[in-house]
Amino acid sequence: MGRQFFGTDGIRGRVGTHPMTAEFALRLASAAARVLAPQGGRVVIGKDTRVSGYMFEAALEAGFVAAGMDVLLLGPLPTPGIAFLTQALDADLGVVISASHNPYFDNGIKFFDRAGSKLPDAVEERIEAFLAEPAITRESAELGRAKRIDDAREQYQQFALSTVPPGTRLDRLKIVLDCSHGAGYKVAPTVLTELGAEIVPIGCSPNGRNINDGCGSTNPDLLMLTVQGVRADVGIALDGDGDRVLMVDHEGRLVDGDQLIYLLARAARDEGRLQGPVVGTQMTNLGLERALAELGIEFRRAQVGDRYVLEMLRETGGILGGETSGHLLCLDKTTTGDGLISALQVLSVMANSGRSLAELVRPVQRLPQTLVNLRLPRRIAVADSPPIQAAIHEAEQRIAERGRVLVRASGTEPVLRVMVEGEDDGEVRAVAESLAASIERLTA
């Protein structure tokens, strides 16, 4: 049947433009209730700091209450915190109002099941099938109720602290913390301060419109400069909803998700707790795969998207994986990607080993990689286009054994992502630009 609205990470778009309207959110809540809690039940709703979150929170609340579900409102909280509280509060589902790393004028809605995991594609398809139906309004005696959970943030903070190895202290670390003016702006500074770290906060003053604006994991330049300027030991960059993390070493150099995965995998192996293969994606840099091979650690690639990394980890019994962008999965600690908890694991390795972040990730020699985002007039199914497949094959022949080519469609917009990776930066850039130009001509 396929999905019309759900992408790789929920439903997302510009506020005020279908489907990101209050009316659609109400119908979506009703459809989700039909599929996930047809007999009624409990749902938690959290959000990031976008001004439109108030509107969507109210619309979703109305839809769920009308469908006979009790609603627990968590307020601004990182996406992984909402996943945790879905389980901790024994809810039937969790809802996140966020467009992650997008600008404030976008927003999105995504769901967790009662185990705090993202929904499978098939369940999202079932929800979409009910969107054409009128929203349910039950009789007064069957309506749900709504209330705010005042200690939601404190519950999540205690959970995050519980994932740190016993006895770990961060007293000797000076940390620049960039929360992207997003959902982690209170949680992350509180947790790190409680562990004894000296915090220099940036991106921690949300006003509803500055989320991800020149800060956070997608805009780390300010963090890199600040780490050098204040002579910090490390920098941490979350994204707007707190499920991604990138870091900066003491010299101001960016450390991406691939390098952090290596650090965590090596630490887990050395401690005898690594299970199954480490899982990355088709976009993961070949340098990580080679570095893990040197340690004798198996590595596998899933489709792009942390939900697909999670599926492969579950299939293979693995506990560690993620994406270059900083979506990291530490399944021995939590059920979903969590920027703060992932950062805590890295900081614990630094504190307990006495080694710098730069030293710990040095074995990963990243290969040059060029990514071209090609905006098209409409969505294109790459696999179903023989001319595009021919262009890709020609590019693969040009780079031969020296690298690899990947072309994939965005899950949320009419964009093709053209990635070429190889040993020579000039060749990689030339092949990527040539392939992108060819595809642009073919789709004009």
pLDDT at 7: 85
Q: What are the catalytic residues? A: 100
* Fold exhibited by the domain 163-361: Alpha-D-Glucose-1,6-Bisphosphate; Chain A, domain 3 (3.40.120)
Residues of the chain with CATH 3.40.120.10: 11-150, 163-361
What is the model's pTM? 0.91
Residue range 369-443 forms a domain whose CATH class is alpha beta
> Average pLDDT by consecutive 10-residue portion of the chain (444 residues)?
81 97 98 96 98 98 98 98 97 97 97 92 95 95 97 98 97 98 98 98 98 96 98 98 97 98 98 97 94 98 91 97 97 95 98 98 95 88 91 93 88 85 94 94 87
Residues of the chain with CATH 3.30.310.50: 369-443
pLDDT at 221: 97
Q: What is the 3-state secondary structure (H, E, C) of the chain?
A: CCCCCCEECEEEEECCCCCCCHHHHHHHHHHHHHHHCCCCEEEEEEECCCCCHHHHHHHHHHHHHHCCEEEEEEEECCHHHHHHHHHHCCCCEEEEECCCCCCCCEEEEEEEECCCCECCHHHHHHHHHCCCCCCCCCCHHHCCCEEECCCHHHHHHHHHHHCCCCCCCCCCCEEEEECCCCCCCCHHHHHHHHCCCEEEEECCCCCCCCCCCCCCCCCCHHHHHHHHHCCCCEEEEECCCCCCEEEECCCCCEECHHHHHHHHHHHHHHCCCCCCCEEEECCCCHHHHHHHHHCCCCEEEECCCHHHHHHHHHHHCCCEEECCCCCEEECCCCCCCCHHHHHHHHHHHHHHHCCCHHHHHCCCCCCCEEEEEEECCCCCCHHHCHHHHHHHHHHHHHHHHHEEEEEEECCCCCEEEEEEEECCHHHHHHHHHHHHHHHHHHHC
pLDDT at 2: 63
* Fold exhibited by the domain 11-150: Alpha-D-Glucose-1,6-Bisphosphate; Chain A, domain 3 (3.40.120)
